[in-house]
Amino acid sequence: MKTWMLANRKTKETYERDRFFEEADELGIDFTVVYADEVDLIVSRDDRRSIRYQNEIVSLPDVLLARTGSATGNYNLSVLRQFERLNVPTLPNSDAIIAAKDKMYANQILAQAGLPIPKTMLTRFPSNSDLVEKQVGFPCVVKVVTGSHGAGVYLCEDKKQFNDLSELISALDFKNSMIVQEYVQFSEGRDLRVIVIGGRVAGAMLRQSTDGSFKANISRGGKGLAYDVDEKMEQEKTRNTKSKQRRKRITRFFCNLKDLQ
């Protein structure tokens, strides 16, 4: 079996990549890491020859894993779509990446699927703190729309802090929208990552911060613990994936721990 992993050349984290190499080696999988800037796409009717890798026409992989991160840009998405057109399974696929890289869009999908999510508001700064108080309440979490590793995720304890932050962001002339989200107090410092592949829960990881931070990200020093998949989680997942018919997708969603326990 021939597997390609579309990776981000700039990333300094090699743990995932190394683990994929180890497992592929053990399973006898022909595993290659490719970068989008080595791939040329030619859109034509002659589909089988429409992808060139390192200036050569090569045989297509059986599967393409996308590990390009939350900053996945249009070029990587175009590469993925080309493989999808050629019926090469891509994991996650381009639609899933588009949903995951926009935290507002991801929450809209989850809410529409009936999943419990923290109340989420899209705003620009300066933001109306009265409206935030009324709709979301304090404390609240302010987030950039696209980001990972917990960067750009900030806990505002009260209205005064929110107004200070609002003033600061406005002074920086930051024009992008940001997210203001209800703070899930009972889940402080921990969250649950549920991996859904092809409509099935493949596993889950409970992440726990170790330094008293409300953020559980492992890249910030949090620890990850295996979490047993139970019936409740399966039901949540089924609601999520069935309603959207999102087979072949990998979905990671923020679960309301209280609902799952």
Ligand X SMILES: Nc1ncnc2c1ncn2[C@@H]1O[C@H](COP(=O)(O)OP(=O)(O)OP(=O)(O)O)[C@@H](O)[C@H]1O
Q: Catalog residues that contact ligand X under the rule CB under 6 A.
A: 118, 141, 143, 147-151, 153, 181-184, 187, 191, 214-217
Smaller CB separation from ligand X, 79 or 178: 178
Nearest-angstrom CA–CA distance, 140 and 181? 6
Instruction: Compute the C-alpha angle 133/139/141, nearest 5°.
Output: 100
Smaller CB separation from ligand X, 51 or 136: 136
Smaller CB separation from ligand X, 51 or 141: 141
- We find the least distance from the C-beta atom of residue 81 to ligand X, in angstroms, to be 23
Contacts of 151 (CB under 8 A, 6+ apart): 144
Smaller CB separation from ligand X, 141 or 201: 141
Smaller CB separation from ligand X, 39 or 196: 196
* Alpha-carbon separation of residue 236 from 22, 43, 119, 162, 255 (angstroms): 33, 39, 18, 33, 9
- We find the least distance from the C-beta atom of residue 92 to ligand X, in angstroms, to be 13
- We find the least distance from the C-beta atom of residue 191 to ligand X, in angstroms, to be 4
Give the type of residue at 92: P
Provide the phi-psi class of 103: left if phi over 0, else alpha when psi is between -120 and 50, else beta. alpha
Nearest-angstrom CA–CA distance, 186 and 100? 24
- We find the least distance from the C-beta atom of residue 189 to ligand X, in angstroms, to be 7
CA dihedral of 68, 73, 74, 76, whole degrees rounded to 10: -20
- We find the least distance from the C-beta atom of residue 96 to ligand X, in angstroms, to be 14
**DSSP 8-state symbol, 49:** G
- We find the least distance from the C-beta atom of residue 49 to ligand X, in angstroms, to be 37
Smaller CB separation from ligand X, 78 or 187: 187
Q: What are phi and psi of 105, to 5 degrees?
A: -60, -40
Q: What are phi and psi of 101, to 5 degrees?
A: -85, -5
- We find the least distance from the C-beta atom of residue 236 to ligand X, in angstroms, to be 17
Q: Which residue is nearest to ligand X (CB)?
A: 148
Nearest-angstrom CA–CA distance, 91 and 63? 8
Smaller CB separation from ligand X, 90 or 181: 181
